[in-house]
Amino acid sequence: MNDKKAKDHTGYPPEQTDECERVLVTLLNGMGPWKDSVYLVGGLAPRYIAPQDPERPHGGTVDVDIVVRMAVLADTKAYATLEENLARLGFERVPLGKGGFFTWRWQIMTDKGHAVVLEFLTGDVERKRGELEKLPVKGGKLNAYNFPALHLVYHFFDTVEVTAELLNGRGVATETLRHANVVSYLCAKADALEDRGEEKDAHDIAYCLEQVPLDAIVAAFQNALNTEFAQMIRTELQVIKKRFCSDDKTEGFRKDGPVKAIIFEMQDPAGDNEDARNARILRQRSVSEAAEALIVALGI
């Protein structure tokens, strides 16, 4: 999660996203009972959250981010099965630049020649961002990287049946996937955008705001705001308001949220072609208007 993202969509070829889905289904298919405690977040999740628009496709992803509910995996047997199965499926720990290995990032080379990174994350509100949470097993090599905002995923998620060709000729399988819903996803991405300011995070937010019907997003947030997590959710909605919406000083389309989203989508933020500049501004306005519609509807 600390690696810099590609600045625009050219760094995310569609075939790589398809391979990420194959890795995800292979993972779920081979991991045994622990799969019931994991939830998909990150750049693959919009494939299942939002209707897909072939005219304006989502930017995709080059990795698979899963949030682990650590309390469930505290069972020694489940943990051992998890780590053994990762190795059996062909995953290896990602090496650190100065020697050693990440304990929360694993990678695999697919049979079609794509390298896919698997990241284990967790959402512990009692721990600081960036802390590694270790499972209570002696000699274990698997940790999860903590982002407190991901705690919302445990409570606001959807399920979907996903069918894909398993890696290494294991056949086609269908697995039940738990993934962040529009509430927990937008909150997690707002938190990430506030933290690291990446174009890809802005794009993921913009894509969901534009592609998921407004009434569906509003209804989901209204339900969520009536829970014990209301303050956490409001905090992240304030980030969207600050980064995407107009205020008395700056028009929304000029804010860094829409600008970064469209840099990712269209490249070349400066440009020397008037038509291209006008097209970018129109897209920025569309993104800002989608954000403002949500914020106004929720009274944030």
Span 27-31, mean pLDDT?
Answer: 88
Task: Kindly indicate the confidence band of residue 2, based on its pLDDT and cuts at 50, 70 and 90.
Answer: very low
Residues whose CB is less than 8 angstroms from the CB of residue 125 and which lie 6 or more positions away in sequence, other chains included: 148, 151, 232
Residues whose CB is less than 8 angstroms from the CB of residue 240 and which lie 6 or more positions away in sequence, other chains included: 186, 190, 205, 257, 291, 294, 295
Residues whose CB is less than 8 angstroms from the CB of residue 226 and which lie 6 or more positions away in sequence, other chains included: none
- The whole-number pLDDT of residue 243 equals 98
Per-residue pLDDT at 179 exceeds 90 = yes
What is the CB neighbour count within 10 angstroms for residue 21? 21
Tell me: the pLDDT tens digits for 107-120?
999 988 889 999 99
- The whole-number pLDDT of residue 242 equals 98
Tell me: the pLDDT tens digits for 216-233?
999 999 999 999 999 999
Indicate the DSSP class of residue 110.
-
Closest C-alpha to 48, from 90, 70, 76, 17: 17
Q: Kindly state the tokens that stand for 54.
A: 């072939």
Per-residue pLDDT at 167 exceeds 60 = yes
Tell me: the pLDDT tens digits for 73-105?
665 566 666 777 788 889 998 988 777 888 899
Span 42-65, mean pLDDT?
Answer: 90
pTM over 0.75: yes
Task: Kindly indicate the confidence band of residue 258, based on its pLDDT and cuts at 50, 70 and 90.
Answer: very high
**What is the separation of C-alpha 13 from the centre of its chain, rounded to a whole number of angstroms?**
17
| First-to-last C-alpha distance (Å) of the chain | 29
Closest C-alpha to 119, from 153, 150, 94, 149: 94
Distances (CA, A) of 239 to 20, 197, 202, 207, 257: 29, 12, 11, 16, 10
**Dihedral in degrees, nearest 10, Cα atoms 207, 294, 195, 131:** -90
Q: How far apart (Å, rounded) are the C-alpha atoms in residues 223 and 50?
A: 19
